[in-house]
Amino acid sequence: MIGSDIPPNQTLYVNNLYEKVKKEELKKCIYALFSQFGKILDVVALKTYRLRGQCWVVFADVAAATNAMRSLQGYPLYDKPMRIAYAKTKSDTVAKLDGTFAEKNKKERKKVNDEAREALQARAKEREAAAANAAASGMAPPAKPSDQNPPHEILFVQNLPEATNNQMLTMLFQQFPGFKEVRMVDGRPGIAFVEFENDTQSSVAMSGLQGFKITPTHAMSVSFAKQG
């Protein structure tokens, strides 16, 4: 079905795809299927946990995208019927062509910074309220949690299962803007360091994955790494 509230555009969102196929194989298959309807500028498929089973196809013009969507809607790729709709937002490829890419990135960075600031302010208020309640009841204030190190672009991750590897953590953290790399520590299973471009972006990732259970018995503990 063609989406009703999303205006026609050059980029199609395709989901309900077979999740176990390799990314490059999927991109080649999607390109072969969709290119018969017009010039394709890009096929975007990611293998992060949240984005498996879906991709984006960027056509050179809206007419080709519309024709492809109508013709391939429900097509059984790897025995699963594809669901196709217009993408909600303009692709980076199209944005670069029409000159709006820089402005888009600027808005996205502002949004991320605002969200991070709000998250940090909310956590600070929670700590202040807990300390006030403790003082009112005559109890000692709770000990400062480990994430009270000053904000830092590098995160310290603990309580990981021994089998955790670099690739597993990369899949988790690369969902967040500004991700740079994961560094495991030789001879020290259960811990890792994850670096972002700045401490605002690392704060967003820390809030998003704090307590994430890699296994039923291992909830990740994420804090700012000590500086110096």
Q: Which domains does the chain have, with CATH numbers?
A: 11-98 (3.30.70.330), 111-224 (3.30.70.330)
pLDDT for the residue numbered 3: 44
Q: In this predicted model, which residue has the larger pLDDT, 128 or 192?
A: 192
Task: For CA atoms 69, 74, 75, 77, give the dihedral sign.
Answer: positive
Q: What is the pLDDT of residues 109-126, one digit of tens each?
A: 555 455 555 655 665 566
pLDDT for the residue numbered 215: 74
Q: In this predicted model, which residue has the larger pLDDT, 30 or 217?
A: 30
Residue 73 pLDDT more than 70? yes
**CB count, 10 Å around CB of 141?**
12
pLDDT for the residue numbered 45: 84
Residue 23 pLDDT more than 70? yes
The rounded Cα 43 to chain-centroid distance in angstroms is: 18
Confidence band, pLDDT 50/70/90 cuts, at residue 92: low
Q: What is the dihedral of CA 156, 157, 159, 163, to 10 degrees?
A: -130
Residue 201 pLDDT more than 60? yes
pLDDT for the residue numbered 143: 43
Residue 197 pLDDT more than 90? yes
Residues 30, 57 contacting (CB under 8 angstroms): yes
Q: Which range has the top average pLDDT, 1-15, 90-104, 108-122?
A: 1-15
pLDDT for the residue numbered 137: 65
Whole-number percent of the chain with pLDDT over 90: 33
Residues 190, 159 contacting (CB under 8 angstroms): yes
Confidence band, pLDDT 50/70/90 cuts, at residue 44: confident
Model's pTM, two decimal places? Answer: 0.42
Report the DSSP beta bridge partners of residue 40.
59
